[in-house]
Structure 1
Amino acid sequence: ITDAIYAAGYRKPDRSVEDAVMLTIETLAGFEGADIPWKQWPKNLDGILFNELNELIEVECHNADGSAAHIAKAVLSAGYRKVGE
């Protein structure tokens, strides 16, 4: 699901440098000791943003009914919009 939404161009609005740095630190701190192989860790900001979206989708898949409509509403409610339009 994450691959399709990300490939369709859905992103949160641009962030400040400070916000991007904090998100990166929080993401990498969450990976530390999580038994995730290094090659699966995000390697750049695009990977960090993809991971952020993936975490949202994983939570929403387990909440309520996990339907596509429920996930789409959650993604839009979290501030994701199609970029480049």
Structure 2
Amino acid sequence: MDNKNILKRFINFLENNNDGYLKNVKMSSKLKEDLDLDSMDFLDIAYFIEQETDKNLSDDVLETFETVSDVVLFIKMGMRKHVN
């Protein structure tokens, strides 16, 4: 799956979990500052990543995500490991 498809799935996930109030989400959007996501949202993001990659995500890794791009690239790398 390419970045564009992962981004589309992630944006759809974010919008569904935030009652559709998130608009203009971009790869460069900052999760906390631009999208106003809180710790509960980050738990939802962890669940989304775990579902996409079929891997458990540690809190330490979750805390490293600052932008939408960070999440998308992490998912892409996780999916790549399943293919190889």
- TM-score normalised to the size of structure 1? 0.30
- TM-score normalised to the size of structure 2? 0.30
Q: Which has the higher contact order (CA 8 A, sep 6+)?
A: 1
**Where is the strand percentage greater, Structure 1 or Structure 2?**
1
Q: Which has more radius of gyration?
A: 1
